[in-house]
Chain A
Amino acid sequence: MQWETVIGLEIHAQLSTKTKIFSAASTAYGAEPNTQACAVDLGLPGVLPVLNQEAVRMAVKFGMAIEAEIADYSVFARKNYFYPDLPKGYQISQMDHPIVGVGHLDIEVEGQTKRIGVTRAHLEEDAGKSLHESFHGSTGVDLNRAGTPLLEIVSEPDMRSAKEAVAYMRKIHELVQYLDISDGNMQEGSFRCDVNISLRPKGQEEYGTRAELKNINSFKFVEKAIYTEVERQKEILEAGGSITQETRLYDADKDETRSMRSKEEANDYRYFPDPDLLPVFISPELRAQVKADLPELPEAKKQRFVTDYKLEAETANNLASSRPLADYFEALVKSSGCAAKICSNWVCVELSGALNKQNLSISQSPIDSDRLAQLLQRIADNTISGKIAKQVFEAMWSSQDSADTIIEAQGLKQITDSGAIEAIIDKIIANNPGQVEQYLSGKDKVFGFFVGQTMKASQGKANPGEVNKILQDKLRL
Chain B
Amino acid sequence: MSLTTDDVNKIAYLARLGINAQDTESYTANLSNMLNLVAEMSSVNTDNVAPMAHPFDTTQRLRPDQITEGNQRDNFQAIAPQVEEGLYLVPKVLD
With A34-B87, A83-B95, A135-B89: A56-B63 Cβ-Cβ less than 8 Å: no
Are B88 and A143 closer than 8 Å at their CB atoms? Answer: yes
Shortest beta-carbon distance from A25 to chain B in Å: 4
Shortest beta-carbon distance from B73 to chain A in Å: 5
Q: How large is the interface on A (under 10, 10 to 19, 20 to 34, 35 or more residues)?
A: 35 or more
Shortest beta-carbon distance from A56 to chain B in Å: 6
Among B54, B66, B69, contact of A273 (Cβ-Cβ < 8 Å): B54
Q: Which residues on B sit within 8 Å (CB–CB) of A270?
A: 14
Closest B residue by C-beta to A283? B59
Are A24 and B63 closer than 8 Å at their CB atoms? Answer: yes
With A19-B65, A278-B56, A279-B60: A33-B91 Cβ-Cβ less than 8 Å: no
Are A279 and B54 closer than 8 Å at their CB atoms? Answer: yes
Are B91 and A139 closer than 8 Å at their CB atoms? Answer: yes
Are B68 and A24 closer than 8 Å at their CB atoms? Answer: yes
Type the 1/0 row for B30-49, where 1 means its CB is closer than 8 Å to any CB of A: 00000000000000000000
The CA of A457 and the CA of B64, in the complex, are separated in Å by 67
Q: Which residues on A sit within 8 Å (CB–CB) of B84?
A: 135, 138, 140
Stretch at the interface among A36-44, A196-204, A442-450: A36-44
The CA of A143 and the CA of B72, in the complex, are separated in Å by 13
Among B16, B69, B89, B95, contact of A138 (Cβ-Cβ < 8 Å): B89
Chain A interface SS verdict (over half): loop
Shortest beta-carbon distance from B90 to chain A in Å: 4
- Tell me if A205 is interfacial: C-beta within 8 Å of chain B: no
Q: Which residues on A sit within 8 Å (CB–CB) of B26?
A: none
Shortest beta-carbon distance from A59 to chain B in Å: 12
Closest B residue by C-beta to A140? B87
Q: How many pairs, one residue from A and one from B, have CB atoms within 8 Å of each other in the complex?
A: 127
Q: Which residues on A sit within 8 Å (CB–CB) of B92?
A: 132, 137-139
Are B93 and A84 closer than 8 Å at their CB atoms? Answer: yes
Q: Which residues on A sit within 8 Å (CB–CB) of B4?
A: none
Type the 1/0 row for B52-83, where 1 means its CB is closer than 8 Å to any CB of A: 01101011111111111101110011000010
- Tell me if B1 is interfacial: C-beta within 8 Å of chain A: no
Near B by CB (< 8 A), chain A positions 213-236 give none
Give chain A's interface residues, CB within 8 Å of chain B: 17-19, 23-26, 32-39, 42, 44, 50-56, 75, 80, 82-84, 89, 97, 130-132, 135, 137-143, 260-261, 268, 270, 273, 275, 277-281
Provide 21 A-B residue pairs closer than 8 Å at the C-beta atoms, listed in order of the A residue: A19-B65, A24-B66, A24-B67, A24-B68, A24-B69, A32-B73, A33-B85, A34-B76, A34-B87, A35-B71, A35-B86, A37-B73, A38-B72, A51-B61, A52-B65, A139-B93, A140-B85, A260-B95, A273-B53, A278-B53, A278-B61
